[in-house]
Amino acid sequence: MKFEDIEIEDVDFEAMLEESFKKSDSKSDVIKGVIVKIDEAEDQAIIDIGGGSDANLSLFEIKDEDGVLLYRVNDTIDVVSLGRGRVSHELAKKRAALNEFIGEYDEEQEYIIDGVITKKNKGGYVVECDGLEFFMPRTLSYLNSKIDATGKKIKAVIVKVDKTKNSVVISRKELIEREKAKIGEIVDKLLESKEVVEGTIKKITSYGMFVDVGGMDGLVHYSQISHKGPVNPSKYFDEGDLVNVLALDYDKKKRHLSLSIKDANPDPWKEIDSIIGVGDTVTATVSNIEPYGVFVDLGEDLEAFLHVSEVSWDKNVKHPKDYLTIGEDINVEVIEIDNEGRRLRVSLKSLLPKPMDAFVDAHKVGEVVTGTVSSLTDFGAFIRIDSVEGLLHNQEISWDKSVNAKDLLKSGDEVEVKIIKIDRDAGKISLSKKALEDSPVKKFAESHKVGDIVAGTVKDQKDFGVFIALENNVDALVRSEDLHPIKADEIEKGQEIKGVISFIDVNNDRIRVSVKRLERQEEREAMNQLNMDQDDSMTLGDAFGDAFKK
């Protein structure tokens, strides 16, 4: 509770009360008057108040809510003189009501009023409640006289009734002092005993809850609600709920009582090993869903985190909300307990059948399957087959090495591929599209063999050799040691190089060409030709040798 700046003076309010009412005694008595005239134009009535005197009465005082006059000429009504030829019917009614209240006042009973300050005078304030006016001396108001309190709602207790003067004195100070004393007793008891007490939630805010403990409100900050950590109180409690709390501190200056719900309940982390263990399967309730994962309530005032990667075996989970809903009960496996960090991690997918196991049971390496392009990357395309994904690397897209996945495919395309590798433990599947076609090297090998002389143009040069393009888009490697007599620093892109096929590997799509071998092969062929020519000439001489001799 907050109180205004308090101003207390050592003043005799008995004298103040006397001063407040002494001038009004002669005027405030209720007298009988007779309506002698009603002047609608002047909005007033002329009242005969006796002694040959007339007084004016405003018509609004004798009209109902609809503006209809309640009295007529010659009617008798109660009025109070205001002086200067004016009277009031409303004041007479209030005076009559106050007189009735005073007449029925029981000194043995305490009267607490809820009223509104309507006037301020030298001695204090006039407070109206249910049509009755009471006097509250300034020293009993606990109000700053420098601040205009007119219109302020207050609660006060009647401290004096003077039946002879028809006056009632009330005190706001008395109630406040009682409240302070009560609060002091409650706070002292709560802080000294350190006992858990039951309270009622009065109000829930974004930063915590106000809880009534024995007639005093204390704040349970949102960080003091659960051992899980800061939580949104509105997700766990409703106004009117009963909760166990423990007093933490009291700020006398701010009159602020701090309470804790979590300290009033056992800390599960002190006995976490006896509550739960890694590998346990538990039922949890989804309490919050974020793009990066899900928070689940395990009970026992424990909360665990389910990372997005642990929601499903599907590696393309865009948002956990596509799989789970708040309030849903799910079975999860505990995969990590961090006692020091007070964190629990769980997995949902570990309790689900592994798609890779089902895939391995249904497919094998070398099988041709049809899948759907799920995503494209710079290094290839991921193809969904059944409930798993395989990688179609750029190197396996086409025999044309200049082509990549983004050139030929787009997400959603259906594509026929061959399974070339399955790594069950790593959960990886390698696919190939080019394996469904004969390689250019295989076609090349059907019409060429090792030892054939070929010519190609330079495509690329590396430290270990030169790649040349042969016919039908087939590449071959001329290793550095096979370039002789061509010098490596004299080679240019597009230059034609002639050599001998020295190696063909159809399975690995490789061909090697040797310039050096070409030189030796040409020399050998020239020698063979020369030998053949020599054999032919000797055979001719031999054939005519005998004839010449004869």
Please give the average per-residue pLDDT across 402-412, as a whole number: 90
Question: For 316-325, what is each residue's pLDDT tens digit?
Answer: 788 999 999 9
Give the end of a domain, one of 127, 144, 175: 175
pLDDT score for 26: 42
When the pLDDT of each residue in the chain is averaged and rounded to a whole number, the result is 85
Here the contacts of 175-184 (C-beta below 8 Å, separation 24 or greater) are 175/112, 176/3, 176/142, 179/1, 182/215, 182/216, 183/1, 183/216, 183/255
Comparing CA positions, the residue from 465, 474, 469, 484 lying closest to residue 505 is 474
Domain membership of residue 181 (yes or no) is no
Give the C-alpha separation, 137 to 122, whole Å: 9
27 and 124 fall within a common domain: yes
Domain membership of residue 2 (yes or no) is no
Domain membership of residue 336 (yes or no) is yes
281 and 216 fall within a common domain: no
pLDDT score for 430: 95
- Give the residue with greater pLDDT, 413 vs 524: 413
* pLDDT over 80 at 151, yes or no: yes
Residue type, 13: F
The kind and range of the H/E element at 34 are: strand 30-39
Domain membership of residue 278 (yes or no) is yes
346 and 359 fall within a common domain: no
The confidence band for 533, taking pLDDT boundaries of 50, 70 and 90, is low
- Give the residue with greater pLDDT, 188 vs 343: 343
The position carrying tokens 């403990």 is 213
158 and 17 fall within a common domain: yes
The position carrying tokens 């469904």 is 436
* pLDDT over 50 at 2, yes or no: no
Please give the average per-residue pLDDT across 417-438, as a whole number: 91
pLDDT score for 550: 45
| DSSP string of 386-441, one letter each residue | TTEEEEEEGGGT-SSTT--HHHH--TT-EEEEEEEEEETTTTEEEEESGGGS--HH
Give the C-alpha separation, 170 to 134, whole Å: 7
Please give the average per-residue pLDDT across 171-193, as a whole number: 80
What pairs with residue 134 in β-bridges?
Answer: 127
366 and 347 fall within a common domain: no
208 and 306 fall within a common domain: no
Give the C-alpha separation, 63 to 417, whole Å: 96
Domain membership of residue 537 (yes or no) is no
298 and 160 fall within a common domain: no
10 Å Cβ neighbour count for 197?
18
71 and 156 fall within a common domain: yes
Domain that holds residue 410: 355-436
Report CA Rg, the chain: 52
The answer to whether the beta carbons of residues 238 and 210 sit under 8 Å apart is no
Give the C-alpha separation, 455 to 498, whole Å: 4
362 and 342 fall within a common domain: no
Q: What is the CATH number of the domain that holds 470?
A: 2.40.50.140
- Give exposure, 147-174, as e/b (b: 16+ Cβ within 10 Å): eebeebebebbbbebeeebbbbbbbbbb
Give the end of a domain, one of 294, 329, 351: 351
137 and 245 fall within a common domain: no
- In this predicted structure, which of 84-88, 105-109, 161-165, 354-358 has the lowest mean pLDDT? 161-165
* pLDDT over 60 at 12, yes or no: no
The answer to whether the beta carbons of residues 334 and 306 sit under 8 Å apart is no
Please give the average per-residue pLDDT across 478-501, as a whole number: 91
For the chain, the domain total comes to: 5
The confidence band for 546, taking pLDDT boundaries of 50, 70 and 90, is low
Peptide bond into 268 cis (omega under 30): no
Show the DSSP H helices in 211-333 as ranges.
272-275
25 and 156 fall within a common domain: yes
pLDDT score for 513: 94
Give the C-alpha separation, 353 to 229, whole Å: 33
pLDDT score for 147: 85
Domain membership of residue 546 (yes or no) is no
330 and 432 fall within a common domain: no
Give the end of a domain, one of 436, 464, 499: 436
Question: For 44-78, what is each residue's pLDDT tens digit?
Answer: 999 998 888 899 999 988 988 888 999 999 999 99
* pLDDT over 50 at 534, yes or no: yes
